[in-house]
A and B are shown apart, each in its own frame.
Chain A
């Protein structure tokens, strides 16, 4: 095992411990989420109790395809290293600004879009993009933002910000963006 990987694992471990501690202090228990409104047929019903409720997502609201993104939110787009969903320290000021925005606008529902660069395979990137959005959501809730106002969507590598094929484009495309889906 190389030192980089070890470092990564220990960072993750610290993140786990930190977020578990913070969640333990601040989180209110959420209601078990039901399925959203059905397009057709009966919806799924969860009968297995969730094994943990720390990150449970609120019911869906709003239309994420209407990309309501004021300049302040666009400027808070968080970027990631290749194949990583760890929020780098350099990106934290953007999340801190998002936390401030949400305190100033307590009625807003924010959808965090997770995105990946074109390298890597489609379904893994769809999960990695979700993981990136969730990492931002976890950071924000750890600062006291109400998790019920934060939902996520992953587009994987399907919606690059820059259609180019080099490292410059890829760096722009590994990102989490914030849009308003309710206010």
Chain B
């Protein structure tokens, strides 16, 4: 009897497999050019450790699209999103990119981790697709020299400018850096190593901490012995909270700042009282943006949760694209590309403009500090 059951399950599983293969084969068709929605591919991590951010990004894109559609769309056409999960992994990301390309989208937005985003850019470029990278901010993205790739989020160099200002105002002498070895966090650490000494701030030590390292005592000891009076954590919040707790419990008295990879309310809850006073070089959090109240209210009403770190950047990305399409008067890639290059869009995250290298011309980093279990805007 048991054997029969297993056999039936196996057959059933096989049938499901087959049917979904064939279901995936059907290509969409129908509708004339003018009626068809403008499809925007969304490349975000929807599974794995970074799924929280990917989901937040997707919801922000959705909110912007729904607003635009309710107001009549763009050039009389609706906007439609088509998301693909990049899992924040290079191999999965190229697969997701193929999925987006196969759908025949008009534009692509998204990109959370630089490591996963970079391999997809050539694929999109080969298909003559415009890619607006909302979050990934390694300068390697623009170094590829693909003239249809734009970075919306300020790169690490902007974060370090903000960090230098913070260090100067605190009278910092020696900074210890910790990164997690991946493209994004190492890039940030490398820039700090290069730029901070120019402002007479010494680098005490650069530590590497792999993701999901449970024991950080070696790093804490090394930092305490290095005589640093400022620790800059370049990594992500999951491990960052652990480092902050251990530093404080190990008797470290100096200042601690974290990079935008840790700029999440989850950092506050994970750190508890040890997190008090920690600085964040943060992307433009919506709570501190001008005109952000309406966005927060709408986001909460729609998704029943608070908007996350990159919500404003993603929201602005869609509006920037809308403006560019309207200015170009067409969805043709080359014209829209030129419109984006020349854009000066005032969004929730600040002014969005591009350098000739297609990086943001205006920094959108802000400094936050954890006070009484909440983020507080710091003005220097």
Bound pair: A and B?
A: no
Interface residues of B (CB under 8 A from A): none
Residues of A within 8 A of B (CB): none
